Amino acid sequence: MAEGNRSEAGGRPAVEWVVGSVSLALVACIIAFLAYEALFGGAAPPVLGVSIDRFERMNNGSTVVEVIVRNDGDRTAAGVVAQVVTMGAAGQRIRKTIRFDYVPGHATRRGAFLFDDAGVSRADLQLSIDGFTEP
């Protein structure tokens, strides 16, 4: 390091102080963010919803229904069970579930229901959340 790049304090190169100052600013930003979350962030319980993202009939006659589970609450939900109920081509009731390990607050998770029955209709799908636990 050239002598001209050294600061007066302790003879340390100026670049060390610049890197240190930038790091201080970054850490301060994270602390400020966490402090804001701690003081003013919400603590609302999980508010869960499930919706269809994609409905597709496969070549082998089966049907794939991709769903998105969204948590609009602040707290994380664990063991979230999404359920779909529909009627098959023969009039039988079909019920399927997916379990998501965690759905954090204000976050989404994706999954898919698989139906062997080609008679499943998108309009007949009834989606719901069965329940959840605390992490």
Partner 1 sequence: MQVRRRDDYGIAQLARDVGRAGGGALIFSLPMLMTMEMWDLGLYLDPVRLLVLVLVTLPMLVLLSRWIGIESTRNWRDDCLDAALALGISVVVCLVVLALFGVVRSGEPADALAGKIAIQMVPASIGALLARSQFAGSTGEEGESPREARESYGGELFLMGIGALFLGLNVAPTEEMMLISYQMSAWHGLGLLALSIGLMHAFVFAVGFAGGSPTSPEEPWWSPFLRLTLPGYVIALAMSLFLLWVFARFDGQEAGSIVMTAVVLAFPSALGAAAARLVL
96 binds partner 1 (CB under 8 A): no
Rounded Cα distance, 96 and 3, in Å: 72
Rounded Cα distance, 122 and 64, in Å: 10
Rounded Cα distance, 64 and 56, in Å: 5
**Which residue lies nearer to partner 1 by CB, 20 or 61?**
20
Name the residue type at position 1: M
Return the residues of window 33-62 that contact partner 1 according to CB under 8 A: 33-35, 37-38, 41, 43
**Radius of gyration of the chain from its Cα atoms, rounded to whole angstroms:** 26
Among 5, 24, 121, 124, binds partner 1 (CB under 8 A): 24
Residues that bind partner 1 (CB under 8 A): 9-10, 12-13, 15-17, 19-24, 26-27, 30-31, 33-35, 37-38, 41, 43, 76, 78, 101-102, 104-110, 135
